[in-house]
Chain A
Amino acid sequence: MNTEKLNFIFSSKAKLAAFIFMAVGLISIIVMFLTDHVEGDDNYHLNRAWSNLFAGCFFFMALSLAAAFFLGLQYAAEAGWSTTIKRVIEAVTMYLPWGLSFMLLLFILGQMHVHHIYHWMADGISTPGNEHYDKIIADKIGYFGIFWWIRTILYMVGWYWFTMKLRKNSLDADKLDIDINNSYHWKNIKLGAWFMVLFAVTSSTASWDWLMSIDTHWFSTLFGWYIFSGMWISALVAITILLVWLKKIGYMEFVTESTVHDMGKWMFAISFLWTYLYFSQFMLIWYADIPEEVVYFQTRWESYKALMWTVFFVNFAFPMVMLMSRDCKRNFFFLMFVGTIIFIGHYLDLIMIVMPGTVGNHWTGLSWMEFGTFFFFLGVFIYVVLNALSKAPLLVKNHPFLQESIHHST
């Protein structure tokens, strides 16, 4: 095996690309904050600009969180096929501290009333007689406020701790010449399993707290899984694209075609999971026709119709048709192409979740604002992930399934 290629070198070209993304993004974010306004609506406080920032923060945070989940899943399931790509998954999870910091910053700004993404954060929302008073929110304010902040901090600390510990154990295992008892592997299996437990609960509750509470009046029990499937597929796409790119520029020779094929299968399968949950949520609400639930889709149907259909077809029909055959899942160009499209598709999905609750009927269709913000966070993401990737060898050393993974074939 070529040992030179075991360490990824973050080339200046890749750095430049990341910085260009960031620069373009930053400029458009600044322009967006200067130009975002709606004539004659005093309640509109740069809502679209802030919502775009929020979507960018959340999307990449959720993506790296789902990558940590995927890594934990490999351990908990004692999967052998994924050992060769473990460092790629780990690199994607390393964006989590950044993502969480961005989120925390946004939440603090929200609590300081700099932005108005969360309706329930408004002053006097539960005080009868106040101009902001809202009966429905007042009835459930106990769930928000300080309780919401406690939960938020708990999620952040919990996710951060597990992700960093998984990574640290993996790096520590590399330092040993030989790990006879697979001690670090067993530690990570335990960690992974416990992270599954934590993640199962917190992925749902966090999506209620952070995303569903934008539409404070509305609720859906399926929402948590819907968000979870969305972040999972985004993570898989990010891992696959990174993997294919690394293979293209000559790294990761030890990853067999079957492993890439398996990532393709994951992308295909989780696209369906997402579709299943997206449609189930829509169908049940459409069928039951309860006013307080239906209002959610009414806004989307009236002002976001094009986006709604785009998201549905791009994230469902497109991967279904393009990734169905085995040859497509083994073709690097196809994986890159389909991956990029559905990656953007799931970002648009998040835009569709966030915007109607904040921008409402002022939506004028997708514009440079959405893409500019996306580029900024993409640039940061690329920089952080590639930097993390260059910090450790691309192949783990002491892992009981290493040989199995190198010889993986399906």
Chain B
Amino acid sequence: MTTNKHIIHGIFGDEVPMMEAIKKLRASGIRIKDVFSPMPVHGLDSLIGIPRTRIAICAFIYGLTGLGLATLMMWYMMISDWPNDVGGKPNWQYYFNIPAFIPITFESTVFCAAHGMALTYFLRCWLVPGAKAKNPDLRTTDDKFLVYLDLNDVQAKTAKIILKENGAEEVNQVKSYVVEPKYTLEETH
């Protein structure tokens, strides 16, 4: 059996009715594929059911890396390779002069965490040089909010009604396509 799929763009002029519409869509069991917005909207990600970001865990790991690298570098330069006597403070042991090493450790931790996070974000979203913009409608870079839906016949009908009722400025059915089932039951007789 084949399924008809419809791609629907619900375009809003303001985020408040959009959030309301999204709440109602979710309540009637419709999955929101994506939302395009000209500005960050608080609470939108949890509303459309995106799981919590794991970038904080990455940041922690990058930070630890930075801390380790800085310590290793300073230990090698200042203790192992060429011990110096700076202002009457001889560098024979690392722990003994640790206050002097803290600022660089701190800076390196912050540096690695921040850059690692930014790079991870760019790579994960594939915002690389030469990347094509994914906005389905250019107006979402200006003043319009777009709810992107990819639904079957029944759901598409309900979704259109909900969008209209909640103040969508436009509801466009952009494309319809047919999905062939991946597996079919073989007839046995």
**Could you list which residues of chain A lie within 8 angstroms of chain B, going by C-beta atoms?**
279, 282-283, 286-289, 324-326, 409-410
Contacts and interface: CB of A to CB of B under 8 A. Distances in A.
B102 A287 contact: no
B182 interface: no
Contact of B102 (A279, A288, A324, A326): A279
Interface of B: 42-43, 56, 60, 87-89, 99-100, 102-103
Contact of A283 (B42, B56, B87, B103): B103
Given A279-B99, A287-B87, 6 more contacts: A283-B103, A286-B99, A289-B87, A289-B88, A325-B56, A326-B56
8 contacts: A283-B100, A283-B103, A287-B87, A287-B99, A289-B87, A409-B42, A409-B43, A410-B42
Nearest to B98: A283
A280 B99 CA distance: 9
Contact of B99 (A282, A325, A410): A282
Nearest to B86: A287
A283 B99 contact: yes
Nearest to B44: A409
B87 A410 contact: no
Contacts of A286: 99
Nearest to A285: B99
Contacts of B43: 409-410
A287 B100 contact: yes
A309 to B, nearest CB: 13
B95 to A, nearest CB: 14
Nearest to B52: A326
Contacts of B89: 287
A289 B88 CA distance: 9
B86 to A, nearest CB: 9
Contacts of B99: 279, 282-283, 286-287
B40 to A, nearest CB: 11
Contacts of A283: 99-100, 102-103
B22 to A, nearest CB: 14
Contacts of A325: 56
B35 to A, nearest CB: 16
A326 B60 CA distance: 13
Contacts of B103: 283
Contacts of B60: 324
Contacts of A282: 99
A362 B56 CA distance: 48
A409 B41 CA distance: 10
